[in-house]
Structure 1
């Protein structure tokens, strides 16, 4: 398993030693990433029945807009762009391996933070 982060800049945490893999991520890394990305919550994604994990930030409207534009010619591009733009740290295979990528896509509504909505006729 390649445990290097997909983007070198994301593996650098000011004042901390950058983790080599998900097992080395500490609460201090999480706190630093929250400050870096300006978010109060990060999500850890785990692929069931595997050792693959990643840490994601919730997408912004700008991320969703960019993904929507990218997906006009290729519908799978939406999921790919969201995963790439929300990626903080983790096992790159989730983005590179088709089966792992599709497993992550299956939970895209959770990654996007979509909540159930109830409508009432008035």
Structure 2
């Protein structure tokens, strides 16, 4: 299983100007890969090009946001199909408050 060093994680954060690096792992297959959240332009592109298929969206999201690690996270069908809800961790953003005045 690939394990990034703290130096590598810090380098990804600096290179991509991000605050978080997200690891997705498969214990069964002993694989781990690291991802970042998509930016607004990437979300527009991903949403426009994959409206008819959630699987295509997930595949495109992983490919777009991949930083490093075991590529089998994206290519092994057993792992890819198991990502499901965990992929949503790439899509959690700040919660804003609404205030009626």
Equivalent of 2:74, from 64, 75, 95?
95
Q: Is the 8 A contact 2:25 2:73 kept in 1?
A: no
- Partner SS, residue 78 of structure 2: helix
The structure with the greater share of residues assigned to helix is: 2
Structure 2: segments with no counterpart, 5+ residues? 97-101
Is residue 55–residue 89 contact of structure 1 (8 Å, CA) maintained in 2?
yes
Aligned length: 98
Question: Does the 8 Å CA contact 1:54/1:89 hold for their aligned counterparts?
Answer: yes
Unaligned runs of 5+ in 1: 1-20, 118-122
| 1:43 pairs with one of 7, 15, 22 | 22
Residues 102, 114 of structure 1: alpha-carbon distance in 2 compared, 3 angstrom cutoff = farther
- Tell me the C-alpha RMSD between the 2 structures: 2.4
Q: TM-score when scaled to structure 1?
A: 0.68
The answer to whether structure 1 residue 27 and structure 2 residue 2 are counterparts is no
Is residue 55 of structure 2 the alignment partner of residue 76 of structure 1?
yes
Residues 55 and 87 in structure 1, CA contact (< 8 A), matched pair in contact too: yes
Tell me, in whole angstroms, the C-alpha distance in 2 between the residues paired with 1:86 and 1:80. 10
TM-score (norm 2): 0.80
